[in-house]
Amino acid sequence: MTENAYVAPQSDLGNIEAAQFDQPSGLFSAKGRYRRSTYLFKLALFQLALFGILAVLGIVAAVLIPQNQGLGIVLGSVAYLIFIVVTIWVSINLAVKRLHDLNHTGWLVLLMFVPLVNFGLGLYLLFKRGEDAPNDYGNPIEPNKTHRVLGVAGILLPLVLGGILAAVSVPAYQDYVERANAAAESRQ
């Protein structure tokens, strides 16, 4: 017996919307797409992790260098080299995924190594809205409000910390200048 060609399909077509989104890929992969919010969130999260790693490396180097200068310097240099390579690799992959969301080739990330052009490309990656529809590089990833909120916080936090730093350091510097001028006048 043959199958009837006029029978309705047996597939579950109830959740067609979910099939239009891809899952985000990992930090070390250049495949896929990242929306602005996901790009900003992953960039901020990665930078936060880097600061933590640098703090640990600094503490380890401070402990090892006084005890055995040769070993401390070699281990610190190797760890820092690995750190730099991983940082560059992940940063390039994040930018490539963002370029894919804008339907551009990932090779444009090489513009990040051109002075002044890299600033414009960075702003473009942060503020240009990506395509909502599937493009040459796949389907978009599902919007995530948590990424949006934490990504904006990742931008605002350094601005707030910079403001606090300026509020503390400017009066302290002014006090230093006044004391230095007073000391210089007393010597004359």
Whether the CB-CB separation of 147 and 38 falls below 8 Å is answered with: yes
Domain extents for the chain? 25-180
Mean pLDDT of all residues in 10-36:
62
pLDDT at 17 over 60: no
SS3 state of residue 184: helix
SS3 state of residue 13: coil
pLDDT averaged over every residue in the chain = 80
pLDDT digits (tens, 9 = 90+) for 130-178: 877 778 877 777 777 777 777 777 778 778 888 888 888 888 889 889 9
- Could you tell me which of 42, 24, 26, 50 has the C-alpha nearest to residue 154? 42
Residue with tokens 């006029």: 6
115 band by pLDDT with thresholds 50, 70 and 90: very high
pLDDT digits (tens, 9 = 90+) for 73-87: 777 788 788 888 888
The rounded distance, in Å, linking the Cα atoms of 16 and 135 is 18
For residue 89, what are its two tokens? 């690799």
The rounded distance, in Å, linking the Cα atoms of 154 and 44 is 5
Residue 128, sorted as left (phi over 0), alpha (psi -120 to 50) or beta, turns out to be beta
Whether the CB-CB separation of 91 and 80 falls below 8 Å is answered with: no
Q: What is the pTM of this model?
A: 0.65
pLDDT of residue 25: 62
Helices 145-187 & 36-67 angle (0-180, nearest 10): 50
